[in-house]
Chain A
Amino acid sequence: MKKINLACIIDDDSTHVYITKRFLDLTGVVESVLICHNGKDAFDKLKAIIVNGESLPELILLDLNMPVWDGWQFLDAFKTIPTKQKITIYILTSSNSEEDIERAKKYNMDSNYIVKPISLKELKNIVLDLA
């Protein structure tokens, strides 16, 4: 079975980071996980990966409500990262508000919008789909 070399969790909530990481581990196909605490942190870390000539994560699980840069700011900044690599981003948020869902549509992310808590089964499906 194909493996996912690197997945990235962007979330400021340590509990959710722990859960998501545990679930990713439990899928058995994710090699390593990059943890970022907000949008800006993630952007900086991804830039550093490019600078080092390494591969970017194949899967990004992005929270929306975060300090420094929120999820939307990250999405805006992410567009500027020069790469030809296929990167799948899922929004993984506690917000089920119409406003956020509408906004996700504008980013063409509405089908990749998951309301927390995500179940292991759900995450497995996503990961296996990519692998």
Chain B
Amino acid sequence: MNYLQKELYELIKTDNAIFEFIQNNSLDGLWYWDLEKPENEWMNERFWEVLGYNPKDMPHKASAWQDIINKDDLAVAANNVKKHLEDPNHPYDQTVRYTHKNGQTIWIRCKGLAIRNAEGVPTRMLGSHQDITKLKKSENVLKHCNEEANIGFWDMNVSTQTITWSDITKKIHGVSLDYQPNLETGINFFKKGYSQDKITDLVFRALNHGEGYNEELQIVTQQGENKWVKVLGIPERNHHGTINRIYGTIQDIDALKKYQLKLEESEQAFRGNFENAAIGMALLDKHGKWLKVNQTLCDIVGYTSKEFYQLTFQDITHPEDLDSDLSLLNEVIEGKRDHYRMDKRYFHKKGHLVYIHLAVSVVRDDKDDVLYFISQIIDITQQKEQEQKLKRIIELTQDQNERLKNFAHIVSHNLRSHSGGLSALLSILKEDEPDYFENEIVKLLESSSDNLNETIEHLSEVVKINLSSKENFSLLPIKPIVDKQITSILPLAEKNRVNIINNINQDTKVLAIQAYLESIALNFITNAIKYRSKDRDSYLEINSLKNGKYTIIEFIDNGVGINLDLHSKKLFGMYKTFHKNKDARGIGLFITKNQIETLGGKVEVSSEINKGTTFKVFLRNEKD
């Protein structure tokens, strides 16, 4: 024995002050129990002070602390006393809970040693208290934290290959609290493939090389659910230097990992969209400095990304467009709007102008300050050029239209004037010198003049239709208009034995000009008479039916019919005739179609040779 140790033992025996110092300063309580008179127990002052009581008020009786000890812990302690008294090798060592005078729980590690007489019978028992409340509280906090953070513990005994899992570890694996894992079953929880291969390798390295690990892997829970976990492994060597223990934690990071993966995915998507976008894209700081640009934008403006980062958007914006851009940008910075769009001009690196459509949106931080702007830029130079081209074409067309109008005027006025004069002169000549008209050439002159007049009459009619304005359209009842035309042509119809039946509804109205409606109706009626079949009783049936915003007027006859296979394309053309009828001039259908189209309608035809023809005239029945 060390001489100092020996000296201290002697001092304790002889000097009470030494024992007092030890019992007051190194322990949180000392007790000495008379096993022969078990009601007697001496407790030192510190014993009671730790529990909040005044030692002077407390008797040296075992009963003094019976009411403030936790009943369950007391039972465990009593059992341990019994075992220790029977077998000195059974340690008396446990943690028990007392209730402090202020109601708090005090955790005490309580150790004891039986003192036996010469016969080995225990007569006294000496015990010590150590206040571990702080430690216990920290432990509780840690446990709570682990629960909150979903961190479980595990511990593997290498020699027995047994593993202990904490409750949270079991919860993470989705197993019951009485589940007993081993190395193999533990590894099998990791997802087959990368995760299982990786953990096998990590455990091998820990066992054989003492390497620790910290890895994010996937497990498959007992319920078959894939779950991301973070596993931490710490190998521990014994005094021989061999690994005898690996312990660590397992943390459920599934939600976090999934969120992270999603974020990565969306960041990647954004990056991909940004880099590969067919339109120019850029990130700019709030001063207009380019932070990031994609290749498309570089192509649009001719700068490399490096050159861009030395510039602001103000540098390349046309001065006339800058103010409106800046004022919109300021509205965004001030929070009055979160995006804007505008057409503006950039200067290409080579100096020429580039027209672009710009859409700017803002990304703000948690204090609502501008982090950066996202700009989307579409090159509309070609479109602008097309617009200008189109504008020029429209101007040219308008100009040509004006010329056409002038031409129309020439046709309808000057030409008519001259041809009218010619035919009047001929009629005067005929009056004065009727004999001249026996001459074949003069006769032909007269007929040419008549034909010229007629042609000009038709042309000027067509011109008039094409120049008419939609503002003059009004809703007109059709039936009376058609009736009027039938009446006017009745003698001709009767003479040719064509029965005309007007089935149009009394209240059917269409959007039209009265003169056009009259002309359209008259044309179809006279056509039906002209092209009647001489082999049978002829009829013309006129019906009306509503078809959405159109009203259809049908003219159905049983005449000679038209060979549509041959003539459908030129049926409504000018000076096209399809019959050998001597009255056929080939202008009526052309004018009629023009009139119908001017009214915003259309005409359809169906026909069968020697059976008859149906014209369907679609006319609008309401204003747009």
Question: In the assembly, what is the distance between CA of A117 and CA of B464, in Å?
Answer: 18
Candidates A16, A65, A97, A115; contact of B421 at CB < 8 Å: A16
**Is B348 on the interface with A (CB-CB < 8 A)?**
no
**Is B111 on the interface with A (CB-CB < 8 A)?**
no
Q: Which of B409, B413, B418, B431 has the most CB of A within 10 A?
A: B413
**Is A77 on the interface with B (CB-CB < 8 A)?**
no
With A22-B428, A116-B416 known to touch, is A98 a contact of B421 (CB < 8 Å)?
A: no
- Determine the residue in chain B with the shortest Cβ distance to A11: B417
Contacts of B398 in A (CB 8 A): none
With A19-B421, A19-B425, A116-B420 known to touch, is A97 a contact of B431 (CB < 8 Å)?
A: no
**Is A96 on the interface with B (CB-CB < 8 A)?**
yes
Question: In the assembly, what is the distance between CA of A50 and CA of B502, in Å?
Answer: 61
- Residue interface bits B423-447, CB-to-A below 8 A is 1, else 0: 1110110010000000000000000
Contacts of B431 in A (CB 8 A): 26
Contacts of A22 in B (CB 8 A): 428
Contacts of A97 in B (CB 8 A): 409, 412-413, 464
5 contacts between A and B (CB under 8 A): A15-B418, A95-B413, A97-B464, A115-B416, A117-B423
**Is A120 on the interface with B (CB-CB < 8 A)?**
yes
Contacts of A23 in B (CB 8 A): 424, 428
Least CB distance from A106 to B in Å reads: 17
Q: Which secondary structure characterizes the binding site on chain B?
A: helix
Least CB distance from A66 to B in Å reads: 12
Q: Would you call B420 and A117 a contact (CB within 8 A)?
A: yes
**Is A13 on the interface with B (CB-CB < 8 A)?**
yes
Mark A residues whose CB is within 8 Å of B.
13, 15-16, 18-19, 22-23, 26, 65, 94-98, 115-120
Question: In the assembly, what is the distance between CA of A22 and CA of B420, in Å?
Answer: 15
Contacts of A115 in B (CB 8 A): 416
**Is B468 on the interface with A (CB-CB < 8 A)?**
yes
Least CB distance from A71 to B in Å reads: 13
**Is B218 on the interface with A (CB-CB < 8 A)?**
no
Least CB distance from A30 to B in Å reads: 16
Contacts of A26 in B (CB 8 A): 431
Question: In the assembly, what is the distance between CA of A81 and CA of B119, in Å?
Answer: 168
Q: Would you call B425 and A15 a contact (CB within 8 A)?
A: yes
Q: Would you call B417 and A16 a contact (CB within 8 A)?
A: yes
Contacts of B420 in A (CB 8 A): 16, 94, 116-117
- Residue interface bits B388-426, CB-to-A below 8 A is 1, else 0: 000000000000000000000100111011101101110
Contacts of A120 in B (CB 8 A): 427
Contacts of B423 in A (CB 8 A): 117
**Is B296 on the interface with A (CB-CB < 8 A)?**
no
- Determine the residue in chain B with the shortest Cβ distance to A22: B428
Q: Would you call B425 and A96 a contact (CB within 8 A)?
A: no
Question: In the assembly, what is the distance between CA of A64 and CA of B281, in Å?
Answer: 67
Question: In the assembly, what is the distance between CA of A116 and CA of B413, in Å?
Answer: 9
Question: In the assembly, what is the distance between CA of A22 and CA of B426, in Å?
Answer: 12
Q: Would you call B412 and A95 a contact (CB within 8 A)?
A: yes
Candidates B417, B425, B460; contact of A116 at CB < 8 Å: B417
Q: Would you call A96 and B417 a contact (CB within 8 A)?
A: no
With A19-B428, A22-B428, A26-B431 known to touch, is A96 a contact of B421 (CB < 8 Å)?
A: no
Q: A15-B421, A98-B467 are in contact. List 9 more A-B contacts (CB 8 A).
A: A15-B425, A94-B413, A94-B416, A94-B417, A95-B412, A95-B413, A97-B409, A97-B412, A117-B420
Q: Would you call B409 and A13 a contact (CB within 8 A)?
A: no
Least CB distance from B29 to A in Å reads: 123
Contacts of B414 in A (CB 8 A): 94
Least CB distance from A37 to B in Å reads: 15
Least CB distance from B345 to A in Å reads: 45
Least CB distance from B409 to A in Å reads: 7
